[in-house]
Chains A and B, each alone.
Chain A
Amino acid sequence: MHETRILDEADRLMTVCNSCRYCEGLCAVFPAMEMRRAFSDGDLNYLANLCHACGACYVDCQFSPPHEFNVNVPKTLAVARAQSYAAYAWPMALSGLFARNGLIISIIAALSMAVFILGFAAFNDRQMLLAIHTGPGAFYRLMPHNAMVVVFGFAFLYAIVALAMSVRAFWRDIGAPIGMRADGASLWQAVRDAGKLRYLDGGGVGCYNEDDRPTDRRKFFHHMTFHGFLLCFAATCVATLYHYLFGREAPYAWWDLPVLLGTVGGIGLVIGPIGLVIAKWRRDPVLLDETSYGMDVGFVAMLFLVGITGLVLLILRETVAMGPLLALHLGAVFALFITLPYGKFVHGIYRFAALVRYAQERRQAG
């Protein structure tokens, strides 16, 4: 029937749910489902990515296991979602990276950090690596600014291209008609829905974790992580402007904007991922795609690594540890960038695209 067995199961569940509809007030998945009577692979991948995995429909369902109808929408859509990441990966040859994602990300992270340390050691003499550097341009004595721009510019651009190609394939698959464009109002609606994590709240009470008492813990830690990431990104952008527009070179004083943004963001990237991992670990496994643990944890672990190395670097940047810490931090950032298109990061991109599609459908339906 469908490309994969999990899509067959998702189709079965959506047929059950479409004849019930009790959950339509909980999130966007069920109203989107109700706009259809039959489900293509693209429809199911769309619904899977629209699901925010709050778990409410499982706890509320009169047909969830042990009922013979065996309705478990959160788990089924979680598996389908994880498989959709591989299905839309660009280039297709790398889609296998999703399968053993945690392991691969660890290896890439370790390798890239090692390369930066060895690189620093190879291109500089020992004294430089372990010397105390202060004042403007201190970092660039270990790695020239232009070299940083080339290396990270490449990594970042690659990530952007790979993600753009993937989401293009996704968009073509979930949309009707093919080639439709996203309109401004729908984009803005999706920005608001994603920014508030509107559908990660079980219809208003919070999402379900280890028992049948909902909380908003995951939403809170996700906000920490996501906004931490954005602040760190903003810090980099501001620093880039400083460098090129004003000729001011890093490192900056603790009170300067890039450092403030980076510090607050870094704290978010440390606390948020810890909270998310604990929440995942404590969550009832019946709601989860356990086969994706590696991918889920791998991505937040990378964010944590970027956050923590950045914060430690800030604290110890005027000591002999600065050289090795800078290498570790840059290694972590590099690994994060090049693995973005092949790990859990893509959930945000696909979910955002699904939210845009949903906003469009709602508008078309009136």
Chain B
Amino acid sequence: MDRKYDVLVIGGGNAALCAAISARRAGASVLVLEGAPKFYRGGNTRHTRNMRCAHDAATEILTGPYTEDEFWEDLSRVTGGETDEELARFMIRESKDILNWIVEQGVRWQPSLGGTLSLGRTNSFFLGGGRAMLNALYLTAEDLGVEIHYDAEVIDLDIRDGMFVSARLKRPINGPTDISAATLVAAAGGFEANIDWLKQHWGEAADNFLIRGTPYNRGSILKMLLEKGVQEVGDPTQCHAVAIDARAPKFDGGIITRLDCVVFGIVVNKGALRFYDEGEDIWPKRYAIWGRLVAGQPGQIAYIIFDSTVLTSFMPSLYPPIQAGTIKELAGKLELDPAVLEKTVAGFNAAVRPGTFDHTILDDCRTEGITPPKTHWARRIETPPYYAYPVRPGITFTYLGTRVNKEARMLMKDGAPSANMFAAGEIMAGNVLGKGYAAGIGMTIGSVFGRIAGREAAKNARN
């Protein structure tokens, strides 16, 4: 490893591999340093399942067209304008070709998964999920002659006047600890698994957060780049959080710990009191806001309470719901004050107005006279047995990143483009997705900018 590579890719997920493959296909010698062990390679990509790409017509796996304009409207809405329109529209245009390009790299598509979300028109699903997608990219990269190392943690970057010189490894691999390369592609993700970093913004509450991805998403490369003069983008205090089962492991519980049943019941905090309108909005917003809401409650825990009438109305869960014959007994099992929980449920039940239930639209089932109200899907909780899921905030990804231009080239604090540094994936997602969430958009950012970063880095290395 004492040779000098054309392109050094730090990271091992979708963006990193797309960059490595596209750089290699452009003729560059490429080294990939993945900080995680082989099994955990790929960061958040291992937990993904689809990608949102624009397309003008239905395909074998997509049920209808999803135009660039419609994609832009969706993105604009979920980010509330926290996006770089030019860059975002550019990405959306590029996403069209990614649908084919990614298949050429060995990834296989399938129609949207059954029994889940209505993404059949907009999102292409990976056959076998995100890890299958990653496996395909790794096989392709290996076949092309990309050199890949695992457990290859980078602890320092030598950057001089916006120019990458070398990276220092924690442990040497076949020789020296300093790796030099003509160009750098940083595709090492966000800092969602870095509890200390999260604490800077969330305080001690962050100790009660669960991290949905691997413990290796520590953001160390992002931090180094920002400290060495790269311009930052995105809100440093924010992360995307959903409510997940409180019994989930601290790290890497992935998709299966999610609970999307808030609409079917009520949510109470540790004090056995409701604290937010459970019927405010339909998916995905309702799904995306509850992590943050629970994070704001004492102890960062809440309980979704429902009854037997809706038990089979949502996806089966990893952990069974906690069951009891009475509300009082349920409170006992949840260690909540039984009298308060009984009062909360009774008060809610009394406030429910008659209506026609339909959880796919904003229906007319609502409460009257309680605060907070449940403005849709409100039905009485009165048919035992009663059930509860304890939930905590599940941190998915962070928004803070490095600013890039359309070449995926990093911009320095003074606005000047870096001489030889590129970024792709979650580490620069904040350029496009400054806030909010839309299913599969992280993968679009990763593939589009990964492909561009690799191509541009290869071109840069030759000049």
Chain A residues packing against B (C-beta within 8 Å): 15-16, 18-26, 31, 34, 37, 56-57, 59-63, 66-69, 203-205, 212-213
Contact = CB atoms under 8 A, between A and B. Distances in A.
Contacts of B46: 62
Nearest to A204: B108
Interface in B209-254: 249, 252, 254
A34 B114 contact: yes
Interface of B: 39, 46-47, 49, 108, 110-111, 113-116, 125-132, 135, 139, 249, 252, 254-256, 312, 315-318
Nearest to A17: B256
B254 A63 contact: yes
A20 B125 CA distance: 13
A203 B115 contact: no
Contact of A34 (B115, B131, B135): B115
Contact of A15 (B127, B128, B139, B318): B318
B114 A21 contact: yes
B254 A62 contact: yes
A213 B115 contact: no
Contact of B128 (A16, A25, A212): A25
Candidate in A57, A61, A67, A212 with the most chain B CB atoms within 10 angstroms: A67
Nearest to A22: B129
Nearest to A56: B128
Contacts of B139: 212-213
A191 to B, nearest CB: 25
A69 B253 CA distance: 9
A63 B127 contact: no
Candidate in A18, A22, A31 with the most chain B CB atoms within 10 angstroms: A22
Contacts of A34: 114-115
B110 A60 contact: no
Nearest to B125: A25
Contacts of A23: 128-129
Contacts of A15: 316, 318
A65 B302 CA distance: 31
A63 B40 CA distance: 10
Nearest to A203: B127
A257 B46 CA distance: 55
A20 B39 contact: no
A60 B135 contact: yes
A26 B128 contact: yes
Contact of A19 (B126, B249, B316): B316
Given A19-B315, A203-B128, A212-B139, 14 more contacts: A19-B255, A19-B256, A20-B129, A21-B115, A22-B113, A25-B110, A25-B111, A37-B316, A56-B132, A59-B131, A62-B130, A62-B131, A66-B39, A68-B249
14 contacts: A19-B316, A19-B318, A21-B115, A21-B116, A22-B129, A25-B125, A34-B115, A56-B128, A56-B132, A59-B131, A62-B47, A63-B256, A204-B108, A212-B139
A71 to B, nearest CB: 10
A25 B316 CA distance: 19
Given A21-B115, A21-B116, A31-B114, A60 B318 contact: no
B49 A22 contact: yes
B39 A67 contact: yes
A18 B39 CA distance: 22
Nearest to B111: A25
A21 B129 CA distance: 9
A22 B46 CA distance: 11
Candidate in A25, A60, A61, A62 with the most chain B CB atoms within 10 angstroms: A62
A361 to B, nearest CB: 13
Nearest to A68: B249
Contacts of A60: 128-129, 131-132, 135
A60 B49 CA distance: 11
A345 to B, nearest CB: 31
Contacts of B249: 68
A204 B312 contact: no
A16 B249 CA distance: 14
A18 B314 CA distance: 12
Nearest to B50: A22
Contacts of A24: 110, 113-114
Nearest to B315: A19
A62 B108 contact: no
A21 to B, nearest CB: 5
A68 to B, nearest CB: 6
Contacts of A19: 255-256, 315-318
Ordered nearest first, which 5 A-B pairs have the shortest CB separation? Answer: A22-B129, A60-B128, A25-B110, A60-B132, A19-B256
B312 A37 contact: yes
A257 B414 CA distance: 86
Contacts of B130: 22, 62
Contact of A18 (B47, B108, B252, B316): B316
Contacts of B316: 15, 18-19, 37
B252 A67 contact: yes
